[in-house]
Amino acid sequence: MVFDFLKGEFIDVISWLDDTRDTMVWRFDRRGQAIKMGAKLTVREGQAAVFIHEGQLADVFGPGLYMLETNNMPIMTTLQHWDHGFQSPFKSEVYFVNTTRFNDQKWGTKNPIMARDPEFGAVRLRAFGTYSMRVTDPGKFMTEIVGTDGEFTTDEVSNQIRNQIVQAASQALAGSGIPVLDMAANLEDLGKIITTAIAPKVAEYGLSIPEFYIENISLPEEVEKVMDKRTSMGVAGDLNKYMQFNAAEALANPASGAGGMMGAGMAAGMGLGMAQNVGPWGAAPGAAPAAPPPPPAAAKAWHLAENGATRGPFSESDLAAMAASGALTGASMVWTAGQDGWKPAAETELSRLLSQVPPPPPAG
């Protein structure tokens, strides 16, 4: 800040040197002094000077060196009714607005965003990232946001911008239709959607968002753990090979936490497994073990329909006894799980039981 006081009480030079990184607006401190007509105004690159006269927005100056006179202060001249020139001091508040980019502003969702995923169903998402903002209309920014604040920082406007971003992000993520597992590949497109949605709203404040980034979209921790287990199972593939690999790692590094007694136990288990694989014929090491037999198929349960009522369930051994006694015939209506409706026993696989029943004995 530079102050040159010439001719007693009048300010002759108006300028601002910003040594901060977050000051968006700074009010030139007049200390009750008047501004001299013809004073020098220095506006540096990345700045704008806004004159507020009696609570009203007056003139806005971009970068440059100015001699304050009626010919370059048209709005102030109109407000003061300086029709024939003016040489006396006047009172006006001067605000310097920083028009450079303010980078690395943070945003994030406080609460989860509910979205519908084609694979996982309803999911809760969180997202966060960074953005930059810039004052594009200093006059509108002063009237809509700053008011009479003598020093205005990024923290005072970032909360409002952050709310706009989160609202747009919630709508974009929930309505995108992009599967959760594919969102990481579409962060740039989603960022453009959000930027487009908030641009008109921040423009009402005299601001723009030159850059916007989504750094991460995440699921709840418990869902991520389930996905990690699912991924691990896919990577492990053959569980037998996976366990053998872990056992070999433990043996190769007995000093690690997996060594010691655990390593010895795994070694014993591997030795027993290898002995079983060798078998009585002394198969060569490395020979593939015989595959275990498949588990027996579950026995079917059958139901009988007699006189409008059902009986059962019966096993095949029960039905074989009933066929031998004549209680089950080829015309008996039967049903089992997976069969399309009731059928005569002779038209089902039970026909083999009926074929094993001996015919009636010959007449004596």
Q: What is the predicted pLDDT for the residue at 66?
A: 93
**Residue-wise pLDDT tens digits, 151-202:** 888 998 888 899 889 999 998 888 888 888 888 889 999 999 999 999 999 9
**Which of 161, 189, 222 marks a domain boundary?**
222
**Number of structural domains in the chain:** 3
Whether residue 32 has pLDDT greater than 70: no
In a domain, 15, yes or no: yes
In a domain, 278, yes or no: no
- The owner of tokens 């040594």 is 19
Bridge-based pairing state of the strands 121-135 and 343-344: unpaired
Reading the block at residue 168, the tokens are: 């747009």
In a domain, 296, yes or no: no
Claim: this prediction has a pTM higher than 0.85: no
Domain extent for 88: 2-98
**Pair (129, 78) in one structural domain:** no
Whether residue 53 has pLDDT greater than 80: yes
**Pair (30, 81) in one structural domain:** yes
**Pair (157, 75) in one structural domain:** no
Instruction: Provide the CATH number for the domain around residue 190.
Output: 3.30.479.30
**Pair (42, 74) in one structural domain:** yes
- What three-state secondary structure class fits 35? strand
**Pair (160, 202) in one structural domain:** yes
Q: Could you tell me which of 343, 330, 354 has the C-alpha nearest to residue 303?
A: 343
Contacts of 231 (CB under 8 A, 6+ apart): none
Q: Could you tell me which of 165, 101, 104, 112 has the C-alpha nearest to residue 135?
A: 101
For residue 253, report the phi and psi dihedrals to the nearest 5 degrees: -135, 70
Torsion of CA 192, 203, 147, 38, to 10 degrees: 120
**Pair (86, 159) in one structural domain:** no
**Residue-wise pLDDT tens digits, 207-220:** 999 999 999 998 88
Q: Summarize the confidence of residues 143-155 as an average pLDDT.
A: 85
**Pair (88, 129) in one structural domain:** no
- The owner of tokens 């015309």 is 331
**Which of 222, 257, 275 marks a domain boundary?**
222
**Pair (123, 214) in one structural domain:** yes
- The owner of tokens 């980034």 is 213
- The owner of tokens 């699912």 is 230
User: Average pLDDT of the chain?
Assistant: 80
Reading the block at residue 330, the tokens are: 């080829």
**Pair (47, 79) in one structural domain:** yes
**Which of 154, 189, 222 marks a domain boundary?**
222
Instruction: Provide the CATH number for the domain around residue 329.
Output: 3.30.1490
Whether residue 25 has pLDDT greater than 70: yes
**Pair (307, 331) in one structural domain:** yes
**Pair (115, 216) in one structural domain:** yes
- What three-state secondary structure class fits 277? helix
**Residue-wise pLDDT tens digits, 311-337:** 888 888 888 888 888 888 888 888 888
Q: What is the predicted pLDDT for the residue at 6?
A: 42
Q: What is the predicted pLDDT for the residue at 49?
A: 95
d(CA 245, CA 105): 47
Q: What is the predicted pLDDT for the residue at 2?
A: 42
Q: What is the predicted pLDDT for the residue at 297?
A: 63
In a domain, 9, yes or no: yes
Q: Summarize the confidence of residues 93-119 as an average pLDDT.
A: 90
**Pair (107, 61) in one structural domain:** no
pLDDT band at 287 (very low <50, low <70, confident <90, very high): low
Q: Comparing 95 with 233, which gets the higher pLDDT?
A: 95
Q: Summarize the confidence of residues 243-267 as an average pLDDT.
A: 60
- The owner of tokens 């406080």 is 110
